[in-house]
Amino acid sequence: MKNKVFNCLFFFILFFLTFPFFLSSALGNVKRGLAPTPIFDSKGNQVSLYNESHALVIGVSKYSNGWPVLPGVKKDTDQVVRALQKNGFNTIIATNPSYKEIRTTIEGFINKYGQNINNRLLFYFAGHGHTLKLSFGEEMGYFVPVDAPHPDKDKAGFLSKGLNMELMQVYAKQIQSKHALFIFDSCFSGSFFSISRSVPYNISYKTSQPVRQFITSGSADEQVPDVSIFREQFVSALSGEGDLDSDGFMTGTELGEFLQKKVINYSKGSQHPQYGKMRNPRLDKGDFVFSLKSTNKTDQTIDFLEEKKKLKTEQSRLEIEKNLLKEARQLAMERKKIKKERKRINEERIRITSKQPKRPSVHQNRSQKCPEKMALVDGRILIAEIGGKVQYEANIQTLCVDTYEVTQNQYELVMNSNPSHFTGVKSRPVENVSWYQAKKYCQRKGKRLPTEWEWVNAAGSKKNTKYYWGNIFDPNFAWFIGNSSSQTNPVGQKKPNPHGLHDMIGNVWEWTDSGENKLKYLRGGSWNTYANGMRISDRRLSDPDFTSSTYGFRCVQ
């Protein structure tokens, strides 16, 4: 099968928040990207607000192993950074990253910043792209890090280093932020998103609904030059030319239409940009919005603050010192309150522990029987500390817990469907399930989802250790990013915890019946988690409607 190789520049704008390499632009006490960006309708009413605006810019030019060097990348990234900063974005740059550095950057970017619903997120990638034709006829696009070999020289090495589009879609679904826009200046087909030119009727609707949008600079069979016409027109669009209806805003759909028209014209028909939204009914309703008419106001505000800073007198400095002294006194009072509260908590801990009911003997516990493929977990008084605050769940009852995470075979027998991303082996855990789907399955089985503290009790080893086997990570107990081959694996292959439960850590995050602010907690880490993020104490919050190839569950009764 002949591979299609595209030695082409692509940039991938994802409205994520970012992680390692910081390049922020600030004047006085105002930093770009951190100031809220209000959106107003045609009547002047505020209809939405982006809390923060951040962009991750990745540029790869110093290739080897069969890939040509891309000297134009440096110029592209510099101009895109300037354009984004002018439009109110905090920009972060990663230059010539390896495969491991790109994944670490993107995952840290999502985990640290992608949980705020009202942020807007931007990701830009400049470097080589490559497309392989799969055995079943479909095509798969890859991002090429600096250390990936050319597939014509080392195909196995390329597959281990290239970042495929399926993984990027998994990342996109893990973002909690409402709006994310992906732009590729590359030769990719639009098969992973739906081409759509329809737009909602008003700015209010566009900003209130979640969306993941995509724009590519050409189709899969087109070459993209190192001197990027697409980048030039993207910068022009951000300067105001992309506002097609002259209402002071540029939506992601308007941007796609603008780039499609301009790039086809200036490339003399050699490039045909595509645009659309992610094939997901929950992520295709809204539209990303650039508030172009607020950009000049933002720059004027920053200039004003800088000028005001230069004109400060000694009297204003004294006023600042007075405020600092006042704050210091308030902090001293808060420290006293904290010290008093810690003393009360310690006394309460001692009181609760002293009243802990006598636990049944091992012999008594064994008299209680659990159904097949469930294990008995003793109850206890659980005292847990999370985020510096002591949390109590007194007198957790003895209960039966599923020995394994619910498998695809078990789920399909009960629910008559299999939503999983990784199919083909029915003994893999079911994933891509929402909290509501997990809860409904357990109810049909006469069971329920565990509370967060019941899960902690079942996962623990009755020792104060990071993992249920000790303090040092041991891959013999868990599937994680270092041994999972970027996918789920059949349940029960790793060593069990002291209660006889398998995969309490790793393989898939497990939904619990606990949460806050309408979100639900997940526990245990997954096949896509690094070792230091898989401790018993690690947790994450997610919308109960969201699904992911890293989300699964087990039941209790």
- Give me the residue label for tokens 């030119």: 197
Residue 276 lies in a domain: yes
DSSP 378-414: --EEEEEEETTEEEEEEEEPPEEEESSPPBHHHHHHH
Please check the confidence at residue 106 and state whether its pLDDT lies above 70: yes
Are the CB atoms for 82 and 91 separated by under 8 Å?
no
130 and 247 housed in the same domain: yes
In angstroms, the CA 350 to CA 344 distance is 10
Residue 356 lies in a domain: no
For every residue of 433-480, which 3-state class applies, written as one string? CCHHHHHHHHHHCCCECCCHHHHHHHHCCCCCCCECCECCCCCCCCCC
State the burial class of residue 324 (Cβ atoms within 10 Å of its Cβ: 0-12, 13-18, 19+): exposed
Q: What is the per-residue pLDDT for 387?
A: 54
At residue 381 the predicted structure's pLDDT band, cuts being 50, 70 and 90, is confident
- Among 56-60, 193-197, 471-475, name the most confident range: 471-475
Residue 557 lies in a domain: no
Cα-based distances in Å from 227 to 8, 9, 70, 153, 262: 10, 9, 9, 26, 15
Comparing 428 with 367, the larger pLDDT belongs to 428
386 and 263 housed in the same domain: no
247, 271, 299 - which closes a domain: 299
Please check the confidence at residue 1 and state whether its pLDDT lies above 50: no
Are the CB atoms for 110 and 175 separated by under 8 Å?
yes
Q: What is the CATH number of the domain that holds 165?
A: 3.40.50.1460
Please check the confidence at residue 292 and state whether its pLDDT lies above 90: no
Sign of CA dihedral 494, 498, 500, 502: negative
Side chain identity at residue 511, one-letter code: W
Residue 330 lies in a domain: no
β partners of residue 123: 56, 182
299, 318, 340 - which closes a domain: 299
Q: What is the per-residue pLDDT for 352?
A: 66
Q: What is the per-residue pLDDT for 134?
A: 80
Comparing 263 with 437, the larger pLDDT belongs to 437
How many other CB atoms sit within 10 Å of the CB of residue 361? 9
Are the CB atoms for 549 and 170 separated by under 8 Å?
yes
Q: What is the CATH number of the domain that holds 531?
A: 3.90.1580.10
In angstroms, the CA 245 to CA 42 distance is 12
Cα-based distances in Å from 232 to 335, 390, 424, 484: 54, 54, 45, 41
Burial profile 503-535: b = 16 or more Cβ within 10 angstroms, e = fewer: bbbbbbbbbbbbbeeebbbbbbbbbbbebeebb
Over residues 455-466, mean pLDDT: 83
Range with the poorest average pLDDT among 114-128, 175-189, 286-300: 286-300
282 and 377 housed in the same domain: no
Residue 328 lies in a domain: no
238 and 124 housed in the same domain: yes
At residue 23 the predicted structure's pLDDT band, cuts being 50, 70 and 90, is very low
Domain that holds residue 156: 9-299
In angstroms, the CA 259 to CA 234 distance is 7
Question: pLDDT tens digit string along 225-271?
Answer: 777 888 889 899 988 899 888 888 888 888 889 988 998 888 888 88
Residue 79 lies in a domain: yes
In angstroms, the CA 44 to CA 352 distance is 57
Cα-based distances in Å from 235 to 76, 85, 258: 10, 11, 12
401 and 291 housed in the same domain: no
In angstroms, the CA 117 to CA 440 distance is 26
Whole-prediction pTM value?
A: 0.47
288 and 436 housed in the same domain: no
Side chain identity at residue 130, one-letter code: H
252 and 378 housed in the same domain: no
134 and 39 housed in the same domain: yes
The total number of structural domains in the chain stands at 2
Comparing 518 with 313, the larger pLDDT belongs to 518
396 and 541 housed in the same domain: yes
153 and 285 housed in the same domain: yes
Q: What is the per-residue pLDDT for 459?
A: 93
144 and 288 housed in the same domain: yes
In angstroms, the CA 513 to CA 487 distance is 25
Please check the confidence at residue 302 and state whether its pLDDT lies above 60: no
User: For the chain, give me the number of helices (H) and strands (E)?
Assistant: 13, 25
Q: What angle do CA 36, 539, 460 make, to 5 degrees?
A: 165
Residue 437 lies in a domain: yes
Range with the poorest average pLDDT among 11-25, 196-210, 421-435, 464-478: 11-25
Residue 319 lies in a domain: no
299, 314, 337 - which closes a domain: 299
Q: What is the per-residue pLDDT for 413?
A: 97
268 and 389 housed in the same domain: no
In angstroms, the CA 170 to CA 156 distance is 23
The pLDDT mean for the chain works out to 81
- Among 43-47, 148-152, 386-390, 508-512, name the most confident range: 508-512
Q: What is the per-residue pLDDT for 367?
A: 52
Structure-token pair, residue 453: 């503290």
Q: What is the per-residue pLDDT for 137?
A: 78
